[in-house]
Amino acid sequence: MANGMQGRRKYTLSGFACSGLRPSTSLIEDNMNSFKPLVFSGVQPTGNLHLGNYLGAIRKFVALQQNNDCIYCVVDLHAITAQLVHDDLRGQIRSIAAAFIASGIDPNKHIVFNQSAVPQHAELAWVFNCVARIGWMNRMTQFKDKAGKDRENASLGLLAYPSLMAADILVYRATHVPVGDDQKQHLELARDIAQKFNIDFQEKIRAAGTGVDMVVGEEPIHGFFPLVEPLIEGPAPRVMSLRDGTKKMSKSDPSDLSRINLMDDADEILKKIRKAKTDPEGLPSDVEGLKGRPEADNLVGIYAALAEKSKADVLSEFGGQQFSVFKPALADLAVHVLAPITSEMRRLMDDTSHIDAILKDGGERARARAEAVMNDVFDIVGFLR
């Protein structure tokens, strides 16, 4: 028992400047039994990726791989929860994988694969469906939003979505999950599922000898699954629509002018930034002056994120200038950052054999890891195999 420990177990991770992260590495080294830090995240293959996805998620994935073991998944099983039939699901899967690779994720050092290639995700999700309570699922705001008024008519898969998401992460016993703000509630649910599993099966886990001493709240327990830590902050801001600075940039916005897609060419980027909504004033000289000006705030935030600077730095350069000066500078920067990614994505999508080979290899490596964990889960639950 880890008697001396106070509070819930925190796993440490290095190399990511993020306010949610603790810099210490001592816990991991001090305790041979603790979970090995592992980063996992997933992106759904629905719709085109845009600047918000890049700055909010994929660029974080790239940063994390410098110092951590990472698994990045195209979550195709999730894609059929809200809409069953897709025109070109295979093409969408490849294009997310292409975006990962084109953005700089190294599929040899880390793992890039599609979810359906590893059947253990769905297997563990089934067990989690029996751990999670219907009441927990009914409280998920994303379910309520997506199901709309006619909840009876939503798919059972849409309701169970967070249970599959928990399985995605925990089938590798991953400890850290970079996601957007909107996924926070799902990660809390993943912790609840892990915790209930750990507590309900405590004696079985001990008997199987595959558990880890951990402290949950004040209570020391012997658990099997880590309580995942979300990585929400980081270098990326919330990227808002170019047509309405109060709405998130979204692939489902009917106006294509509202977003910059990762596959847009330079002319389209220039046009969209030129047409981006602004207000009549020039740029303020400090961040305080962006208050109540959502469109100005968004464009300055995008510039800052692309340039990897703070908003204050951007304003010290552009404060007092008109948008007629700032917008062309922003467009140039966006093209400069995105053009290499776009052209690499196009190249990868022209001949899909390379992407397919990466996904196949990633799937095999992921499956080997997931299989080992699932064997332990079968053992703990008591299935005979």
Known catalytic residues?
146, 248, 251
Q: Does 100 bind ligand TRP (CB under 6 A)?
A: no
Q: Does 45 bind ligand TRP (CB under 6 A)?
A: no
Q: Does 165 bind ligand TRP (CB under 6 A)?
A: yes
Q: Does 78 bind ligand TRP (CB under 6 A)?
A: yes
Helix, strand, coil shares, percent, the chain, to 5: 55, 10, 40
Residues 170-199 that bind ligand TRP (CB under 6 A): 177, 179, 183, 186
CA 319, 324, 330 angle in degrees (round to 5)? 70
CB-nearest residue to ligand TRP:
42
Binding string to ligand TRP for residues 57 to 76, with x set by CB under 6 A, is what?
Answer: ------------------x-
- Minimum CB separation of residue 171 from ligand TRP in Å reads 10
Q: Does 21 bind ligand TRP (CB under 6 A)?
A: no
How many CA atoms lie less than 13 Å away from 55 in the CB half-sphere?
A: 27
Stretch that binds ligand TRP, among 34-42, 122-130, 213-221, 336-344 (CB under 6 A): 34-42
- Minimum CB separation of residue 117 from ligand TRP in Å reads 14
DSSP 208-277: HT--EEEEETTEEEEESS---EEE--SS--PPBPSS-TTSB--TT-S-GGG--BTT--HHHHHHHHHH--
Q: Does 40 bind ligand TRP (CB under 6 A)?
A: yes
CA distance 316 to 261: 29
Q: Which of 16, 21, 39, 44 binds ligand TRP (CB under 6 A)?
A: 44
Closest CA to 334 of 277, 259, 283, 284: 259
* Cβ-contact 58, 103 below 8 angstroms: yes
How many CA atoms lie less than 13 Å away from 20 in the CB half-sphere?
A: 15
- Minimum CB separation of residue 165 from ligand TRP in Å reads 4
Residues engaged in binding ligand TRP (CB under 6 A): 40-42, 44, 75, 78, 165, 168-169, 177, 179, 183, 186
